Amino acid sequence: MTVPGDAFSFQEVNRILKGKKPSPLLIGDVFGTAQRATRILYLTDNAGEIGLDSLLIATFREMGATVNLVVKEDPFFEDATMKDAIFFSMDKLVGNISTVNGFFVPGRTTSRLSDIFKKSDLVIAKGTGNYEALRGELGGKKIIYLLKVKCKPISTDIGVPVGTFVVKVEK
pTM over 0.75: yes
Q: Where are the domains of the chain?
A: 24-170
Please tell us whether the domain made up of 24-170 is placed in CATH 3.40.50.10880: yes
Stretch among 11-20, 32-41, 65-74, 106-115 having the lowest mean pLDDT: 11-20
Mean pLDDT along residues 96-125: 93
The pLDDT-based confidence of 73 (bands split at 50, 70, 90) is very high
Give the pLDDT confidence score for residue 3 in this predicted structure. Answer: 39
pLDDT averaged over every residue in the chain:
89
Q: DSSP states of the chain as a string?
A: ------PPPHHHHHHHHTT-SPPPEEES-HHHHHHH-SEEEEE--BGGGHHHHHHHHHHHHHTT-EEEEEEEPSP-TTB-BHHHHHHTTGGGTSSEEEEESS---TTSS-HHHHHHHHH-SEEEEESHHHHHHHTT-STT--EEEEEE--SHHHHHHHTS-TT-EEEEEE-
Give the pLDDT confidence score for residue 87 in this predicted structure. Answer: 94
Give the pLDDT confidence score for residue 107 in this predicted structure. Answer: 86
Name the range with the highest mean pLDDT among 42-51, 61-70, 127-136: 61-70
